[in-house]
Amino acid sequence: MKHYPVMLPEVLEALSPVAGEIYVDGTFGYGGYSEAILQAENCQVIGLDRDPNVVPRAAELIAEYGRRFRLIQTPFSKLDLLGLDPVDAVILDIGVSSMQLDEGERGFSFMRDGPLDMRMSQSGPSAADAVMNLSQSQLEQIFRVYGEEARARHAARMIVQSREGEPLTRTLQLADLLEKALGRRGKTHPATKIFQALRIFVNDELGELFQALHAAEKTMAPGGRLIIVTFHSLEDRIVKSFFRERAGEIEGGSRYAPVVERTGPPPSFSLPKRSVTKPSKTEIKNNPRSRSAKMRLAVRTGAAPWRESEARSLRVPQLSDLEAIL
């Protein structure tokens, strides 16, 4: 296998592959999960990805596994619009893939020089468009909410001041500016959270995740497993809230006020385990990128899908705001 995805043993244990079942790998990337699942049992895997660069890797799996694998180029949020028969599992590894991080020309990493792009689909506004056109207040909100950056205001101010002198269009150009503006604190590069925030914004990652959860609910067969690996507290919060809502629980339980049953539609999911599963110490040592990963599992019941939840506003600029400017 050419790529070892995050928390692979834990994902395979949660999935428990069965011959003849159909699984959706909603974040195909370099195909690590798909290949491992295909090797585990005589099952079928449908890979989804909006990044056109994954096509050659998908072709390799098709050559090896034939009709047991196919790729559909689409955002995973559109899963319910593909006309698929009910599937037995959906696996989502949220965030940027190693393949994207390692390609400097994609602009995801501050460790490699390249255009300040970060678009997974390679269409629409880029990260450079964001830093060059959004207001200081909008950039500050993006950095504070999506990046959880405590020095968001200072970073936004320095970007706005710098872009008046010359365009900010390269990854190392922005990384160097942020290092000078924010300074080094420990081993973490000061650009880390800012780049993360821009990537989440440019790709509408939280909106895509929110829609994907509802799409999976509509697409999964009874007994189907929904497995989500997240890397950001906001992502995990969305997944946790959805799972507990759909399992018939009320958010906000504590040691003094336990979770109580919700009156309403029958639960559309059950939760074999309410807490998150985290990567092993060995994996974190071998792959530091996995250190913030969290996996959650829910199992589809036979109940009808619920009416879609309303997305809760994070009071942060949306991608449509940037598109309107451009």
CATH code for the domain of 280: 3.40.50.150
pLDDT of residue 123: 78
Is 98 a residue whose pLDDT tops 50? yes
Which of 79, 320, 97, 315 has the alpha carbon at shortest distance from 210?
79
Question: Do the domain assignments include residue 312?
Answer: no
Is 2 a residue whose pLDDT tops 70? no
Spatial neighbors of 143 by CB under 8 A, at least 6 apart, are 149, 152, 155, 156, 193, 194, 197
* Range scoring the smallest mean pLDDT among 134-138, 289-293, 298-302: 289-293
Question: Do the domain assignments include residue 53?
Answer: yes
Percent of the chain, pLDDT > 90?
70
* Same domain, residue pair 82 and 211: yes
Question: Do the domain assignments include residue 30?
Answer: yes
* Same domain, residue pair 34 and 176: no
Q: How confident is the model at residue 249 (pLDDT cuts 50, 70, 90)?
A: confident
pLDDT of residue 124: 86
* Residue 185 domain boundaries: 106-203
* Same domain, residue pair 197 and 54: no
- Find out whether 179 and 191 touch, Cβ atoms under 8 Å: yes
**Six-digit token string for 190:** 């000061």
The domain that holds 164 is classified in CATH as 1.10.150.170
Of 185, 203, 221, the domain-final residue: 203
pLDDT of residue 319: 78
Q: What is the mean pLDDT of residues 83-90?
A: 97
* Same domain, residue pair 182 and 256: no
Q: How confident is the model at residue 112 (pLDDT cuts 50, 70, 90)?
A: confident
Q: If you write DSSP's letter for every residue of 16-56 in order, what string do you get?
A: ---TT-EEEESS-TTSHHHHHHHHHSS-EEEEE-S-GGGHH
Is 259 a residue whose pLDDT tops 90? no
pLDDT of residue 109: 75
Is 252 a residue whose pLDDT tops 50? no
Is 111 a residue whose pLDDT tops 60? yes
- In Å, what is the CA distance from 197 to each residue of 108, 204, 232, 263, 289? 11, 10, 10, 37, 16
pTM of the model: 0.87
Q: What is the mean pLDDT of residues 125-147?
A: 95
Q: What is the mean pLDDT of residues 122-128?
A: 87
* Same domain, residue pair 198 and 212: no
Percent of the chain, pLDDT > 70?
89
Question: Do the domain assignments include residue 323?
Answer: no
How many Å apart are CA 93 and CA 5, to the nearest integer? Answer: 9
Question: Do the domain assignments include residue 254?
Answer: yes
DSSP-derived 3-state class of residue 212: helix
* Same domain, residue pair 238 and 293: yes
pLDDT of residue 254: 45
Q: What is the mean pLDDT of residues 225-253?
A: 88
pLDDT of residue 81: 97
Question: Do the domain assignments include residue 317?
Answer: no
Looking at the chain, list the stretches that DSSP marks H as alpha helix, in order from N- to C-terminal side: 8-15, 32-40, 55-65, 98-101, 127-133, 136-146, 152-163, 171-182, 192-202, 205-219, 233-246, 281-286, 319-325
* Same domain, residue pair 177 and 209: no
- Find out whether 29 and 102 touch, Cβ atoms under 8 Å: no
Q: What is the mean pLDDT of residues 260-289?
A: 87
Question: Do the domain assignments include residue 92?
Answer: yes
Residues 8-44 pLDDT 10s: 999 999 999 999 999 999 999 999 999 999 999 999 9
Residues 38-72 pLDDT 10s: 999 999 999 999 988 899 999 999 999 999 999 99
Spatial neighbors of 225 by CB under 8 A, at least 6 apart, are 14, 15, 16, 88, 89, 90, 297, 298, 299, 300
* Range scoring the smallest mean pLDDT among 53-62, 188-197, 227-236, 267-276: 188-197
* Same domain, residue pair 114 and 80: no
Question: Do the domain assignments include residue 129?
Answer: yes
Number of domains in the chain: 2
pLDDT of residue 77: 95
* Same domain, residue pair 12 and 90: yes
Q: What is the mean pLDDT of residues 296-312?
A: 90
pLDDT of residue 55: 95
* Same domain, residue pair 178 and 215: no
Q: How confident is the model at residue 253 (pLDDT cuts 50, 70, 90)?
A: very low
pLDDT of residue 255: 46
- Find out whether 303 and 267 touch, Cβ atoms under 8 Å: yes
* Same domain, residue pair 156 and 145: yes
* Same domain, residue pair 110 and 192: yes
